[in-house]
Amino acid sequence: MTNDLLGRHRAVLPDWLALYYEEPLEITHGEGRHVWDAQGNRYLDFFGGILTTMTAHALPEVTKAVTEQAGRIIHSSTLYLNRPMVELAERIAQLSGIPDARVFFTTSGTEANDTALLLATAYRRSNTILAMRNSYHGRSFSAVGITGNSGWSPTSLSPLQTLYVHGGVRTRGPFASLSDDAYIAACVEDLKDLLGHTRAPAALIAEPVQGVGGFTAPPDGLYAAFREVLHERGILWIADEVQTGWGRTGEHFWGWQAHGRNGPPDIMTFAKGIGNGMSIGGVVARSEIMNCLDSNSISTFGGTQITMAAGLANLTYLLEHDLQGNARRVGGLLIERLRAVAAQVPAVREVRGRGLMIGIEITKPGTDEADPLTAAAVQEAAREGGLLIGKGGGHNTSSLRVAPPLSLNVAEAEEGAAILENALRSIR
């Protein structure tokens, strides 16, 4: 049946719509931190639908909220007052840390980043955007135009002029050998030099931890230092929190808070985990930025009642059960366990991350050369052992991505680490 479905998939869907595994999975249902495929095989899920099943599969509080809302009304558009949308916007505005915040809901992170770019360019009257090397911001025409990862940017055409900045990947590039303080200073000087050769950009957009890029990150404080330079010139800072938001990094609720000595970003985008699988994205910005557009707009499906009900229930569960604290505690144990294993596996260049956002970079032993075939082999071996993980990276997709639901417990972390250990040792 799976082969039949795969044939049908290939017959009607684009060739570039990526599938994991030599024999792709059809996932039929899930519960907690586990999913099952069409053959009845059970897997521990360490990728959560690309960080989207944030709390747990089939979380009763969310499914109940969705069911009850569906029994009342599913959708009416933003042309009518919408109580769940207002309630979720109020909570997100307060949590964002942005003063006098306004919230606009979309259906995806791509659309959220597209909206942020529209706001920044309209507010600043500039179509020049600063972005980070190795970055990813979505699949729309404008988003791929600012993506700094060639594997996810299928066209060089763009409505924007994009300039790429150093700093998103700590252990590669011309400044990798420097201390953290010297690294930040060198990146800041590079930014200043870049700004001296261009017209005033609208904004810098940056993921606090690069997601598709392989869970790479700069030293804490880099974006705070960038912010000082940007603020002097009136350039906005957009924090892309699509993958880092809602406590996933453990130490902070938002990724930007690791760089927050100069306050919150001007604009912040979010998506993925807030709906626990329902399609929610959005933008938070200071009111004068959000309100700068001088024409009408709506969002047909952004903020629809059923997704807002899911978001409210999911956010409530996340906060009441301190899943941020759980990500810090269980994620810390998992990272240390994986680093101990990696020390015995020459193909592992680095285990990095924070909270439940962990990257394992695979290279040819003794070198910095990416080894995507070996990374794919580890992913296959993990699946055979009953564990689902992701892939990413700016160097030929040779980083494994580990991002379980934030309710992961210690026993499940140990189970997943043991499976990953066997998968990594199988490549020696």
Percent pLDDT > 70 in the chain is: 99
| Separate counts of helices (H) and strands (E) for the chain | 13, 15
pLDDT of residue 396: 66
Higher per-residue pLDDT: 244 or 427: 244
Identify whether the C-beta of residue 56 lies closer than 8 Å to the C-beta of residue 268.
Answer: no
Phi, then psi, of 238 in degrees rounded to 5: -105, 120
| pLDDT confidence band for 249 (50 / 70 / 90) | very high
Phi-psi region of 387 (alpha: psi -120 to 50; beta: other; left: phi over 0): beta
Phi-psi region of 284 (alpha: psi -120 to 50; beta: other; left: phi over 0): beta
Q: Beta 399-402 vs 357-362: how paired, if at all? A: antiparallel
pLDDT tens digits, one per residue of 132-158: 999 989 988 888 888 888 887 888 778
pLDDT tens digits, one per residue of 171-187: 999 999 999 999 999 99
The SS3 call for residue 131 is: strand
Query: How many Å apart are CA 165 and CA 142, to the nearest integer?
Result: 18
Angle at which helix 305-320 crosses helix 83-96, to 10 degrees, equals: 40
Tell me, yes or no, if the pTM score tops 0.75.
yes
Q: Which segment of 18-22, 32-36, 64-68, 309-313 scores lowest on mean pLDDT?
A: 18-22
Identify whether the C-beta of residue 256 lies closer than 8 Å to the C-beta of residue 208.
Answer: yes
pLDDT tens digits, one per residue of 204-220: 999 999 999 999 999 99
Q: Which of 427, 428, 421, 415 is nearest to 46 (CA)?
A: 415
Distances (CA, A) of 248 to 77, 88, 270, 274, 332: 30, 19, 13, 11, 12
What letter would DSSP give residue 256? G
Stretch 192-206: mean pLDDT, rounded? 95
Stretch 298-306: mean pLDDT, rounded? 95
Query: How many Å apart are CA 226 and CA 290, to the nearest integer?
Result: 22
Query: How many Å apart are CA 228 and CA 147, to the nearest integer?
Result: 24
What letter would DSSP give residue 257? G
Query: How many Å apart are CA 293 and CA 285, to the nearest integer?
Result: 13
Angle at which helix 323-342 crosses helix 305-320, to 10 degrees, equals: 70
pLDDT of residue 167: 94
Distance of CA 170 to the CA centre of its chain: 18
Which domains, and CATH codes, for the chain?
Answer: 2-58+322-425 (3.90.1150.10), 64-320 (3.40.640.10)
pLDDT tens digits, one per residue of 404-419: 999 999 999 999 999 9
pLDDT exceeds cutoff 80 at 1: no
Question: How confident is the prediction for the chain on average, in pLDDT?
Answer: 95
Angle at which helix 410-425 crosses helix 372-384, to 10 degrees, equals: 130
Q: Is the dihedral of CA 122, 126, 130, 134 positive or negative?
A: positive
Q: What are the residues whose beta carbons fall under 8 Å from the beta carbon of 66, sequence distance 6 or more? A: 278, 306, 309, 310, 313
pLDDT exceeds cutoff 80 at 58: yes
Q: Which segment of 6-20, 339-353, 388-402 scores lowest on mean pLDDT?
A: 388-402
Higher per-residue pLDDT: 37 or 394: 37
Stretch 7-23: mean pLDDT, rounded? 95
pLDDT of residue 261: 83
Q: What are the residues whose beta carbons fall under 8 Å from the beta carbon of 57, sequence distance 6 or more? A: 29, 30, 31, 32, 33, 34, 35, 45, 405
Distance of CA 176 to the CA centre of its chain: 23
pLDDT of residue 395: 62
Q: Which residues pair with 268 in a beta bridge?
A: 239, 284
Instruction: Give the pair of three-digit tokens for residue 44.
Output: 């521990």
Identify whether the C-beta of residue 244 lies closer than 8 Å to the C-beta of residue 208.
Answer: yes
Burial 171-210 (b: 16+ CB within 10 A, else e): ebbebeeeeeeebbebbbeebeeebeeeeebbbbbbbbbb
